[in-house]
């Protein structure tokens, strides 16, 4: 009976010691990392387009942290889905709604001679990338435009187009087989 | 221990890691004198031929220019001008395929030579030592001189460095196989090159100047040694032949044992490297006043009858160079600008020679066989042994293939100089350099994206803050004293109604994302104490509806577009259409904004009027069309269409409002008196009504009056049933609802016949929305928990009902 | 005119995977001939069997994986694996030994890890170790050199042994391995360790007929032949010097130290270098690029560690030879070694 008692005591003591060590280690060697929402938000493309069904990237990040699917971000493409899946430890699934894997980058373009200066697009733009005043022509700051297309629908005269971003030597990615050549002779 | 400088000047050389020894293949071209080409039929001068910004254009199309005349003016930092290589007329200034691996078009000046080759006035400075340093640097700048070895770094920037230069290295190594342009230039113009070096020495005052030449060019070494024999502190260094010892960083390591720090420039360690060809250009510019308009180009490869070096005017098309050497292309011919290790293939021979073009290589297939199929990497690390930067190419390759960009940066991908030594030795024939280039481009893009997304986030948050602040202010303005509990519940109901209205508006209009309104609605909902679950399905639906609307828009636009060109000039028509569209939208919005303020009756009346208008509009269109001429017709049609649409929207919106109000009322009423089941019945009725209303709305859109007529009937009947059902018992109500649904279905079918496809799509989409909304409104009156449950059930039911309405209308259990 | 677009460089050294594998095979020829001379032509039968097996297994897996069969087979890596395994096992081992060994090596160790380049372990050695731990009797039944054999065996006898366990004249392998006194003869390494464990000194043991003054009869020449092949590989720049030199140097160092301190129980330097699979291991097995370290400093560490482990297992472990175990153990350490031995890239931390 005493043996049992000693054994229990010894085990209990050991458990206590290890518990203390572990507890100390957990405090002392804590790995500082961003809260999960911050990490998710950093992966999202910040187009603020709402295509995920949330009013912006941050709310979607919060929703993912609360268990929503990671495949609702068409502007991010498959790459973003993959990163989110890695971060959340879930299976990477194809984009919801069958959007293409590599989204084409677009920016809004206002056909300026048709613009009536209603400021509706300015109100719709989530990143304030449209400048203009009432009854004055508006224009898009191309560098700030995220291509979310939220300004297209509010336009009463449909003078906003989403145009693909032109390729430059800086953005060219060595697709040697895809060089379109206009043979002059 | 000697000082490093002493050891350098004593002629010590240091080893550099890696490197390969491909066959040099220079004898084909380096023994012949430099050939002078006849004037080409046209010259294509890209405005930017260097690293940096392009200059401002100084000339216009059709202008006559003289040889050596500046065509652009430098304006910003790092911009270098270009000059007319011969006299002639500018025929065009337009983007042309550029001398870049991508061949992406770049703004170019196209000159048609007049054959006279008449120089403009030149300002020589034989006594440049009397000039100030700034003036001398300006001469280099305005002569358009940029590095002629490969990268095209503006020379004036290197020459004006603030750092103390101890060792000036003139790079005549020319380590790449086949190229002999610098070799023959040194043989023919060693004196001029040395005088050019003197100019730079005068500017930089280095302690020692080394001219590095690989030891496989004995003639060039001899010529240069002779030319600089009398000059102190200038030495010719023969270095072992090894590729890529002519790379700037490698050459510095071989000659001085120093390494350029990562991310730094040679000037950081007191070294400056200049190319042989650049030195010749400097001499021409300073002593003769000639800007940079021509350069030596090695034209070689087994498909050419003659392989030699030529003086090519900048802007000469490769086609001209090849044709002059009797080019006989093979199938699968490659034309390479640059050498066989680092050059790039051209997609067309109509690409101009630029300041950095040192070689045009047109190899036969026997000379440079096509690579075999890529095999698996066996990690033999032959590539690591060959790498002059001591990277681990095989590791980089694994990471590049799996797109592990972080790992790539850790393994210092960006210190790769893309010399191609690794791919040269790879037994598995893996195109390693291509993998690195793609990965580099991807990483650069990601970095840009990251910056962009950070900025977008910042702007988005700033905007959100601003909106919240504004809203807060507005709310404070409208604050009222607190009310009694009873009033409070009343106001809650009111709020719920408003909410329902707003929601239905959203659902109907879809496209109109009045975000502010939505936000207010949401805020109100919160205030009303209703726990709105994070309802993203709603937003998603909204978005879907919006997309649908956008599609409709586009279709209409297309119709308008097809009509207009026939009618009148584009602009007028477009303006007219735009105005019409604007009016239509405004009208629709006006109708909508009014609607919620009015009572049911008024709304109904408004709807009726709207319908009437739609009809009239349709008739008007019919009547007008044949009577008038084309132009007018088109415009009229556009306007008419716009009106019709507007009317339709108005009608739709109004009707929805009417019925949601109805629903809210009818739902709220029974609850207070009757049991839950009854509420469910009411909901069913509401759904039926919603459906009916949607159909009615759809019908208004149709152009034929017939469709509408047939629809009116089920409308009335359904209303009758409404009256009945509220009075009767559960069972009856269920039956009634079922009948109503059946009727609605029949009506829908009738409407379908007249409706367009898209309209139908919209209608089916609207239905569940409305049902859901009506239910939402109802639930807001109940307590929180119940409401949540009811709402969930209702939404599910609404969806099911929408589906069932199509095939089995009488199967639903009212509870 | 349509021009062809390609990525630089456009020149190639003409050294291909196939030619590398061919050179390695060529370099193994002297060793195989030496084995034939001393231990009979059984190794050739095993070799033929192994080549057929690896071809079939490799082709089968490639078919299942949907890869190009002939194109991949052509790289010759599977045949090299077969060759190395065939020369590692006793020449008269039953036929199923090599079949199981090649199956495990090709299917599990190589292809299931993604095929050539993806395998963490050396396939031939993993196959060998599997056989050694699964069939210890068959895998240690080496024939004594021909000149010590009581019964001489011809090629047909060996064929018959491999496929039916008995020679044409009805002898079993055990009988063939016995000397005139009816005592089974083992390999020199095995004999030595048994004797030492029975209390004999090394000098006493070395008087037995399986030994010469320096090392094992026959075995020393087989090792010398592989050394010759290895030098050929070095001269052809197929392998780098780092791994073989580091491994042999470490083994030599350990053997010398051991001999100095305990000459009674430790054989000398020459014995270690010329026994068992030392040379084969140093030049043909440890240098397998796929599973070895890829940095030069890493290769030195990797080779030296193999040398030390070989010495330790031979002297203190439970198995007479240890090249296979040493290589596999170090294969596991390769990623770690590679990570910590990255060369200094140009421009980082240089004197300025």
pLDDT above 60 (res B505)? no
pLDDT above 90 (res B279)? yes
At residue B763 the predicted structure's pLDDT band, cuts being 50, 70 and 90, is very low
Kindly list the domain boundaries of chain C, sorted by start residue.
17-185, 186-338
State pLDDT tens for residues B770-798: 444 434 444 443 444 554 454 455 555 55
Nearest CB to A169; choose among B100, B579, B586: B100
Select from C1, C5, C8 the residue whose CB has the most chain A CBs within 10 Å, as the one to mutate to test that interface: C5
pLDDT above 80 (res B710)? no
The percentage of chain B sitting over the pLDDT mark of 70, rounded to a whole number, equals 58
State pLDDT tens for residues B430-474: 999 999 999 999 999 889 888 888 888 888 888 888 889 999 999
Q: Look at B258 and C351 and tell me if their CB atoms are within 8 Å.
A: yes
Mean pLDDT of all residues in C187-211: 80
Q: Which burial class, exposed, middle or buried, applies to B36 when counting CB atoms under 10 A from its CB (0-12, 13-18, 19+)?
A: exposed
Mean pLDDT of all residues in A170-182: 70
**Separation of alpha carbons B481 and C186, rounded Å:** 106
The percentage of chain B sitting over the pLDDT mark of 90, rounded to a whole number, equals 34
Q: Which CATH architecture has domain A104-168?
A: 2-Layer Sandwich (3.30)
| A176 to chain C, closest Cα gap in Å | 6
Res B554: pLDDT: 61
DSSP A71-99: ---GGGHHHHHHHHHHHHT----PPGGG-
Q: Are strands B105-113 and B72-73 parallel, antiparallel or unpaired?
A: unpaired
H-run or E-run covering B45 = strand B43-46
**Separation of alpha carbons B479 and C299, rounded Å:** 78
Which comes out higher in pLDDT, residue C72 or B574?
A: C72
| A52 to chain B, closest Cα gap in Å | 8
Res C330: pLDDT: 95
Residue B406 sits at the chain A interface (C-beta within 8 Å): no
Q: Considering the entire predicted model, what is its pTM? A: 0.71
pLDDT above 80 (res C285)? yes
Nearest CB to B329; choose among C1, C13, C71: C1
Residues of A in contact with C5 (CB under 8 A): 176-177, 179
At residue B759 the predicted structure's pLDDT band, cuts being 50, 70 and 90, is very low
Res B202: pLDDT: 92
Res B529: pLDDT: 44
At residue A95 the predicted structure's pLDDT band, cuts being 50, 70 and 90, is confident
Res B48: pLDDT: 85
- Beta-carbon contacts of A180 under 8 Å, excluding residues fewer than 6 positions away, are none
Q: Look at A126 and B460 and tell me if their CB atoms are within 8 Å.
A: yes
Mean pLDDT of all residues in B355-375: 90
Res C268: pLDDT: 81
At residue A86 the predicted structure's pLDDT band, cuts being 50, 70 and 90, is confident
pLDDT above 70 (res A128)? yes
Residue (of B298, B240, B250) closest to B273 by Cα position: B250
Q: Look at A174 and C7 and tell me if their CB atoms are within 8 Å.
A: yes
Nearest CB to C5; choose among B347, B363, B415: B347
Q: Look at A116 and B550 and tell me if their CB atoms are within 8 Å.
A: no
| A113 to chain B, closest Cα gap in Å | 9
State pLDDT tens for residues B608-640: 454 555 454 444 444 444 434 444 444 544 454
b/e string for C259-272 if b means 16 or more Cβ within 10 A?
beeeeebbbbbbbb
Nearest CB to B581; choose among A57, A129, A158: A158
If DSSP codes are grouped into helix, strand and coil, which group holds residue A92? Answer: coil
At residue C137 the predicted structure's pLDDT band, cuts being 50, 70 and 90, is confident
Q: Look at B378 and C6 and tell me if their CB atoms are within 8 Å.
A: no
State pLDDT tens for residues C144-163: 887 777 667 777 888 888 88
Mean pLDDT of all residues in B388-403: 91
Residues of A in contact with C6 (CB under 8 A): 176
At residue C38 the predicted structure's pLDDT band, cuts being 50, 70 and 90, is confident
Q: Confirm if B78 and B52 have CB atoms less than 8 A apart.
A: yes
- The total of other beta-carbon atoms located within 10 Å of residue B470's CB is 11
ipTM at complex level: 0.87
- Interface subset of A 6-35, CB within 8 angstroms of C: none
Res B739: pLDDT: 54
Q: Look at C3 and B415 and tell me if their CB atoms are within 8 Å.
A: no
Question: Hey, what are B358's tokens?
Answer: 């040192």
Mean pLDDT of all residues in A132-144: 86
At residue B252 the predicted structure's pLDDT band, cuts being 50, 70 and 90, is very high
Lowest-confidence range among B276-285, B447-456, C227-236? B447-456
pLDDT above 60 (res B765)? no
**Separation of alpha carbons B512 and B584, rounded Å:** 13
Residues of A in contact with C10 (CB under 8 A): none
Q: Give me the domains of chain B, ranges plus CATH numbers.
A: 39-122+295-337 (no CATH), 124-289 (3.40.50.11540), 371-473 (no CATH), 490-807 (no CATH)
Mean pLDDT of all residues in B542-565: 58
Res B39: pLDDT: 92
At residue B550 the predicted structure's pLDDT band, cuts being 50, 70 and 90, is low
Interface size B-C, in CB pairs within 8 Å, comes to: 160
Res B782: pLDDT: 42
Residue A1 sits at the chain C interface (C-beta within 8 Å): no
Which comes out higher in pLDDT, residue B773 or B732?
A: B732
At residue A92 the predicted structure's pLDDT band, cuts being 50, 70 and 90, is confident
Res C4: pLDDT: 82
Residue (of C297, C267, C270, C325) closest to C129 by Cα position: C325
Question: Hey, what are B99's tokens?
Answer: 């001398």
Q: What is the CATH number of domain A36-98?
A: 1.10.15.40
| B395 to chain C, closest Cα gap in Å | 9
- Beta-carbon contacts of A174 under 8 Å, excluding residues fewer than 6 positions away, are B101, B102, B434, B437, B438, B441, C7
Kindly list the domain boundaries of chain A, sorted by start residue.
36-98, 104-168
Res B746: pLDDT: 53
At residue B700 the predicted structure's pLDDT band, cuts being 50, 70 and 90, is very low
State pLDDT tens for residues A13-29: 999 999 999 999 988 88
Nearest CB to B437; choose among A143, A168, A174: A174
| C342 to chain A, closest Cα gap in Å | 27
At residue B743 the predicted structure's pLDDT band, cuts being 50, 70 and 90, is low
Res B191: pLDDT: 93
Q: Confirm if A50 and A60 have CB atoms less than 8 A apart.
A: no
The CA-atom distances, in angstroms, between B68 and each of B98, B142, B313, C17, C300 are 22, 11, 11, 54, 62
Average pLDDT, chain B: 73
Res C226: pLDDT: 95
Nearest CB to A124; choose among B101, B513, B574: B513
Which chains have 3+ CB pairs within 8 A of B?
Answer: A, C
Residue C345 sits at the chain B interface (C-beta within 8 Å): yes
Q: Confirm if C277 and C321 have CB atoms less than 8 A apart.
A: yes
Residues of B in contact with C77 (CB under 8 A): 378
Which comes out higher in pLDDT, residue A84 or B517?
A: A84
At residue B532 the predicted structure's pLDDT band, cuts being 50, 70 and 90, is very low
DSSP A76: G
Mean pLDDT of all residues in C239-244: 94
Helices (H), B568-629: 570-597, 600-627
Res A134: pLDDT: 87
| C234 to chain B, closest Cα gap in Å | 13
**Separation of alpha carbons C289 and B381, rounded Å:** 8
pLDDT above 70 (res B27)? yes
Q: Look at A45 and B557 and tell me if their CB atoms are within 8 Å.
A: no
Q: Which burial class, exposed, middle or buried, applies to C180 when counting CB atoms under 10 A from its CB (0-12, 13-18, 19+)?
A: exposed
Res B801: pLDDT: 53
Q: Look at A179 and C6 and tell me if their CB atoms are within 8 Å.
A: no
Q: Look at B378 and C117 and tell me if their CB atoms are within 8 Å.
A: yes
Res B576: pLDDT: 57
**Separation of alpha carbons B319 and B331, rounded Å:** 17
| C117 to chain A, closest Cα gap in Å | 26
Q: Look at C8 and B340 and tell me if their CB atoms are within 8 Å.
A: yes
State pLDDT tens for residues C293-347: 999 999 999 999 999 999 999 888 888 778 999 999 999 999 999 999 988 898 8
Are A36-98 and A104-168 in the same CATH fold?
Answer: no
Select from C1, C3, C5, C9 the residue whose CB has the most chain B CBs within 10 Å, as the one to mutate to test that interface: C9
Res C318: pLDDT: 80
Nearest CB to C8; choose among B253, B343, B426: B343
Question: Hey, what are B633's tokens?
Answer: 């017709």
pLDDT above 60 (res B688)? no
């Amino acid at each position: 009976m005493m043996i049992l008692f000693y054994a229990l005591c010894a085990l209990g003591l050991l458990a206590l010691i290890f518990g203390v060590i572990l507890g100390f280690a957990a405090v002392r060697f804590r790995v500082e990392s961003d809260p999960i929402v911050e990490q998710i938000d950093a992966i999202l493309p910040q187009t603020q387009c709402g295509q995920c069904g949330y009013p912006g990237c941050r709310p979607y990040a919060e929703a993912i942290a609360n268990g929503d699917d990671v495949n609702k971000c068409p502007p991010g493409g498959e790459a973003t889905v993959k990163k989110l899946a890695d971060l959340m430890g879930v299976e990477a699934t194809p984009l919801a709604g069958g959007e293409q894997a590599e989204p084409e980058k677009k920016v809004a373009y206002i056909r300026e001679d048709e613009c009536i200066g209603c400021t509706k697009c300015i109100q719709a733009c989530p990143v304030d990338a449209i400048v203009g005043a009432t009854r004055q022509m508006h224009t898009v700051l191309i560098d700030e435009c995220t291509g979310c297309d939220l300004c297209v629908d509010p336009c009463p005269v449909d003078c906003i187009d989403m145009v693909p971003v032109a390729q430059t030597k800086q953005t060219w990615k060595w697709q040697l087989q895809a060089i379109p050549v206009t043979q002059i002779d | 221990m000697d000082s490093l400088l002493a050891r350098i000047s004593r002629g010590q050389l240091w080893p550099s890691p890696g490197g390969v020894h491909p066959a040099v293949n220079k004898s084909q071209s380096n023994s012949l004198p430099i050939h002078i080409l006849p004037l080409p039929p046209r010259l294509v001068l890209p405005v930017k031929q260097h690293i940096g910004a392009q200059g401002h254009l100084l000339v216009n199309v059709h202008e006559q220019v003289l040889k050596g005349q500046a065509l652009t003016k430098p304006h910003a930092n790092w911009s270098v001008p270009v000059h007319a290589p011969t006299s002639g007329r500018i025929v065009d200034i337009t983007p042309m395929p550029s001398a870049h691996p991508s061949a992406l078009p770049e703004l170019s000046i196209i000159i048609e030579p007049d054959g006279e080759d008449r120089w403009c006035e030149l300002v020589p400075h034989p006594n440049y030592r009397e000039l100030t340093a700034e003036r001398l640097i300006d001469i280099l700048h305005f002569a358009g001189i940029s590095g002629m070895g490969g990268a095209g770094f503006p020379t004036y920037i290197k020459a004006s460095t603030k750092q103390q230069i101890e060792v000036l290295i003139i790079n005549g190594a020319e380590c790449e196989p086949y190229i002999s342009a610098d070799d023959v230039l040194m043989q023919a113009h060693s004196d001029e090159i040395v005088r050019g070096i003197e100019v730079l020495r005068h500017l930089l005052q280095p302690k020692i100047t080394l001219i590095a030449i690989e030891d496989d060019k004995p003639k060039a070494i001899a010529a240069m040694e002779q030319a600089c024999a009398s000059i102190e502190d200038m030495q010719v260094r023969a270095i072992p032949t090894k590729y890529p010892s002519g790379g700037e960083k490698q050459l510095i390591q071989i000659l001085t044992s120093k390494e350029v720090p990562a991310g730094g420039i040679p000037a950081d360690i007191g070294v400056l490297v200049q190319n042989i060809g650049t030195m010749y250009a400097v001499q021409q510019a300073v002593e003769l006043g000639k800007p940079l308009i021509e350069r030596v180009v090695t034209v070689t490869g087994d498909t050419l009858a003659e392989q030699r070096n030529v003086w090519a005017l900048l802007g000469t098309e490769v086609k001209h160079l090849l044709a002059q050497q009797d080019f006989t292309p093979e199938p699968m011919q490659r034309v390479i600008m640059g050498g066989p290790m680092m050059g790039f293939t051209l997609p067309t021979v109509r690409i101009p020679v630029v300041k950095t073009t040192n070689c045009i290589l047109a190899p036969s297939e026997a000379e440079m066989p096509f690579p075999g199929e890529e095999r698996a990497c066996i990690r033999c690390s032959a590539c690591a042994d060959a790498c002059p930067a001591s990277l681990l190419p095989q590791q980089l390759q694994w990471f590049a293939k799996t797109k592990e960009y972080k790992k790539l940066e850790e393994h210092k991908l960006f210190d790769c100089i893309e010399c191609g030594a690794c791919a040269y030795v790879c037994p598995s024939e893996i195109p390693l350099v291509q993998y690195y280039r793609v990965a580099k481009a991807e990483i650069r893009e990601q970095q840009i994206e990251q910056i962009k997304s950070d900025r977008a986030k910042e702007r988005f948050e700033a905007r959100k803050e601003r909106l919240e602040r504004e809203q807060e202010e507005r709310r404070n303005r409208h604050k009222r004293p607190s009310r009694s509990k009873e009033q409070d519940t009343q106001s809650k109901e009111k709020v719920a109604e408003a909410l329902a209205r707003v929601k239905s508006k959203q659902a109907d209009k879809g496209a109109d994302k009045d975000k502010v309104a939505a936000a207010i609605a949401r805020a109100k909902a919160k205030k009303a104490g209703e726990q709105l679950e994070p309802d993203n399905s709603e937003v998603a639906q909204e978005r879907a509806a919006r997309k649908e609307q956008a599609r409709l828009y586009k279709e209409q636009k297309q119709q308008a577009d097809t009509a207009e060109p026939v009618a009148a000039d584009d602009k007028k028509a477009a303006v007219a259409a735009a105005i019409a569209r604007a009016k239509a939208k405004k009208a629709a919005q006006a109708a909508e904004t009014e609607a919620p303020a009015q009572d049911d009756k008024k709304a109904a009346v408004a709807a009726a009027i709207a319908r009437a208008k739609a009809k009239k509009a349709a008739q008007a269109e019919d009547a007008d069309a044949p009577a008038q001429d084309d132009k007018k017709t088109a415009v009229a049609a556009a306007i008419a269409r716009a009106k019709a649409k507007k009317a339709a929207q108005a009608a739709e919106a109004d009707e929805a409002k009417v019925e949601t109000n109805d629903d809210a009322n009818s739902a709220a009423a029974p609850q207070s008196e009757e049991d839950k089941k009854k509420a469910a019945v009411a909901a069913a009725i509401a759904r039926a009504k919603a459906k009916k209303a949607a159909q009615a709305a759809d019908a208004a859109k149709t152009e034929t009056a017939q469709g509408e007529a047939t629809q009116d009937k089920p409308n009335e009947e359904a209303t009758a049933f409404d009256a009945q059902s509220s009075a009767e018992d559960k069972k009856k109500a269920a039956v009634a609802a079922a009948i109503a649904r059946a009727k609605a279905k029949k009506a829908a079918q009738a409407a379908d016949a007249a409706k367009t496809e898209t309209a139908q799509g919209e209608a089916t989409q609207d239905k569940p929305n409305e049902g859901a909304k009506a239910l939402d409104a109802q639930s807001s009156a109940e307590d929180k928990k119940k409401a949540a449950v009811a709402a969930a059930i209702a939404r599910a039911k609404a969806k099911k009902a929408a589906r069932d309405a199509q095939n089995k209308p009488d199967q639903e259990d009212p509870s | 005119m349509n021009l062809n677009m390609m990525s630089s460089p456009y020149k190639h050294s003409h050294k291909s995977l196939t030619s590398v594998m061919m050179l390695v095979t060529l370099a193994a020829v002297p060793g195989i001939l030496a084995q034939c001379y001393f231990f009979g032509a059984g190794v050739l039968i095993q070799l033929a069997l192994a080549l057929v097996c690896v071809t079939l297994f490799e082709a089968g897996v490639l078919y299942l994986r949907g890869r190009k069969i002939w194109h991949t087979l052509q790289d010759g890596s599977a045949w090299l694996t077969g060759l190395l395994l065939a020369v590692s096992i006793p020449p008269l081992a039953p036929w199923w030994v090599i079949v199981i060994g090649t199956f495990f090596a090709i299917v599990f160790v190589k292809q299931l890890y993604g095929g050539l380049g993806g395998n963490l372990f050396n396939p031939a050695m993993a196959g060998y170790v599997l056989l050694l731990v699964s069939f210890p009797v068959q895998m240690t039944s080496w024939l004594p050199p021909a000149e010590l054999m009581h019964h001489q065996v011809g090629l047909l006898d060996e064929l018959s042994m491999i496929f039916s366990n008995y020679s044409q004249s009805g002898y079993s392998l055990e009988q063939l391995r016995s000397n005139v006194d009816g005592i089974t003869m083992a390999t020199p390494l095995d004999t030595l360790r048994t004797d030492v464990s029975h209390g004999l000194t090394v000098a006493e043991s070395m008087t037995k007929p399986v030994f010469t003054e320096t090392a094992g009869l026959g075995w020393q020449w087989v090792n010398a032949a592989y050394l010759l092949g290895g030098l050929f590989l070095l001269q052809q720049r197929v392998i780098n010097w780092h791994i073989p030199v580091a491994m042999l140097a470490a083994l030599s160092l350990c053997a010398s130290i051991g001999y100095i301190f305990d000459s009674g129980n430790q054989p000398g330097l020459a014995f270690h270098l010329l026994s068992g699979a030392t040379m084969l291991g140093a030049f043909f097995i440890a240098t397998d690029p796929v599973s070895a370290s890829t940095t030069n400093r890493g290769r030195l560490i990797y080779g030296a560690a193999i040398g030390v482990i070989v010495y330790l297992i031979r002297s203190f472990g439970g198995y007479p030879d240890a090249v296979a175990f040493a290589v596999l153990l170090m294969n596991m350490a390769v990623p770690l070694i590679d990570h910590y031995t990255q060369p200094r890239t140009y421009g980082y931390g240089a004197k300025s």
